Chain A
Amino acid sequence: MPRIGTVRPRQPADVRVAGLGKQYPTRSGGTVAAMADVDLDVPAGEFVCVVGASGCGKSTLLRILAGFEDATSGTVTVAGAPVTGPDPERGVVFQDYGLFPWLSVRENIAYGPRQARLQRSVVTERTDRFLAAVGLTRFADKYPSELSGGMQQRVAIARVLANDPSLLLMDEPFGALDALTRSSLQGELSRIHRDTGTTVLFVTHSIEEAVFLADRVVVMAGGASHGVPGHVKEVVRIDLAGERDVTSAEFNALKRRISALVHEEVAAPAA
């Protein structure tokens, strides 16, 4: 498969989250804290995975970074600038793809560059490059409904990369895919991250996926149903060099450690 390589026009962004809190109004007129006092620093170019039980606020964190939701308290800055709303510099990959069904694969990928009013030749070049990067050149003129889930997610990734984002936000992107497709996409994402150097914040339910992909794994805990707001429990550095071997002892030791951190919380709710 061709590499994205060489072109790296936009600098990867660093992410600073400080004292972040999110409260939702309840039906009875009160508020419930989904998340409180979340601090997180991600240096530029790092791949961070966020894991945790359902309701711990990991998706909320991502949505606040994306600009889809406002924080109730705290600050969020990306590349030094506070997040005020969605921006093409912060590309989002959703679990359910969110492709435009009436646009072909090529048009979906060209969408962002066209909105940015780039020159036609630049749009074409970028579209072709990212079509190739996710191996979908042959399917350029198909519509999303004609593709498998894995292929649709490839389109969604290419569509975001074509915008040349400085931060990639991925919300359980492989959660709906079968195991085989999932692992091949993990490999591809790993390679894309190496090639583009983009900062990635990746939310997942799968601890193995997190250990496979991340430089650091952020374990979140709590959540409204636990009686404690969601918070960062621990950050685990993954010091595995090169291509990661999911069967190695080191890999599995890390997996066990993170798994224990996640499950402690599930076993003892409302503690």
Chain B
Amino acid sequence: MTSTEATPATAATTAPTTPAARTATPAAAPARAPRAPRRRLRVGPLLLALPVPALVLVLWTVGVQQAWELPFGIKMGFLPTPLEVGRRLVDLAVGGIVDDAFSGTLLAHLWASTQRVLAGFALAVALAVPLGVVMGRFSLAFRMLEPTVNLARPIPVTAWAPLTLLIIGYGDGSAIFLVFLAAFFPVLLNTIAGVRQVPVRLLEAAAMLGTRKAQVLYKVVLPASMRSIASGLRVALGLSWVILVVGETVGINTGLGAMITQARDQSKTDLIVAGMVVIGLCGFVADRALTGLLALATRGRPTLT
């Protein structure tokens, strides 16, 4: 609809004297012409978004076939083509194409990974939000804990991994703990920041309206810092998936990270890339699910999400 309307208008700007353009939009054409560029942008976000990935796929395919050598010493000859990755993805999901140990195992890996992410993330939220509220609200707690938090925070979670394997051991526990560590700090810092930024005016308003002390937190502090907390949750959930792959590399058999590691050991590049695609999608879907959940929980109220 929009495109058929936009075309004559565009034609009118470029060639206003063309009879075809005049008959298509009689009289209205000159008035509408200046707005044509804005209309054209709306034609379809898909149409605008598709060319770049399409080009990447084409270059990727050609590059693999021609065995291009790229900067950083990237030898594209070792890469699978997009088509091979696609085949592997389908096989991973339903089997029947490659028929190896990985065929049809996607759901098992996905489920194992999702469980670990959810466990670690939930644990982090359950601890970091209350701690952040306390640190943001009480300056004594802040001054006591902030230096420690900021000393521990710069240690990369990946640097925790070797130690974790030694003190927790191979298995779920280590992976969940690493996800927990990764998610903990973004949630904590955003909660502290959000709580400290609650406008004094709202606290005064709550006080003079008779808000009971015990309710101030729930009635004012949390809603007023909800935005900041929510963005912390999103960052943390994204990081959770990143760290999961690290956490699953050693001593774990099922899980997307484990799958990629096994694929590397067997030099199955198509499986590695397929795994990467799945993990990327997981992060994306998880983020959408989280924002959807938050919007649902806050019932679309302004300033909450």
Interface of A, helix, strand, loop or mixed by DSSP: loop
Contacting residues, chain B, for A68 (C-beta < 8 A)? 204, 207-208
- Cβ of A159: which chain B residues have Cβ within 8 Å of it? 209
| Complex interface: chain A residues within 8 A of B204 (CB) | 66, 68, 86, 92, 94, 98
Query: Are B211 and A115 in contact (CB-based, < 8 A)?
Result: yes
In this complex, what residue of A is CB-closest to B302? A143
Q: Give a binary string over B270-305; 1 marks a CB under 8 Å from any A CB, 0 the rest.
A: 000000000000000000000000000010011110
Q: What residues of B have a CB within 8 angstroms of the CB of A94 in the complex? A: 201, 204-205
B173: CB under 8 A from chain A?
Answer: no
Which residues of chain B in 60-118 are interfacial with respect to chain A, using CB atoms and an 8 Å cutoff? none
Question: Does B2 touch A at the CB level, under 8 Å?
Answer: no
B interface, how many residues as a size bin? Answer: 20 to 34
Q: Which residues of B contact A90 (CB under 8 A)?
A: 208
Q: Which of B201, B210, B215 is the one whose CB lies under 8 Å from A116?
A: B210
Q: Which of B199-230 contact A (CB under 8 A)?
A: 199, 201-202, 204-205, 207-212, 215, 220, 223-224, 226
> Given the complex, which residues of A lie within 8 Å of B199, measured CB to CB?
98
Report how far A101 CA is from B201 CA in the complex, Å: 12
A88 to B208, CA, bound (A): 5
Q: Which residue of A lies closest to B199 (CB)?
A: A98
Are A143 and B301 in touch, CB under 8 angstroms?
Answer: yes
Contact A86 B303, CB 8 Å, known A98-B201, A102-B223, A115-B212: no
Task: State whether A100 and B202 are in contact (beta carbons under 8 Å apart), knowing that A115-B215, A143-B301 are contacts in the complex.
Answer: yes
Interchain Cβ contacts under 8 Å between A and B, 18 examples = A66-B208, A85-B207, A92-B205, A92-B208, A94-B201, A100-B202, A100-B205, A101-B302, A102-B226, A102-B302, A111-B209, A115-B209, A115-B211, A143-B301, A145-B302, A159-B209, A160-B208, A163-B210
Given A94-B205, A100-B205; 7 other pairs, CB 8 A cutoff: A66-B204, A66-B208, A86-B208, A92-B204, A102-B226, A102-B303, A160-B208
Interface on A for B, CB 8 Å cutoff?
A: 66-68, 85-88, 90-92, 94, 96, 98-103, 111-112, 115-116, 143, 145, 159-160, 163
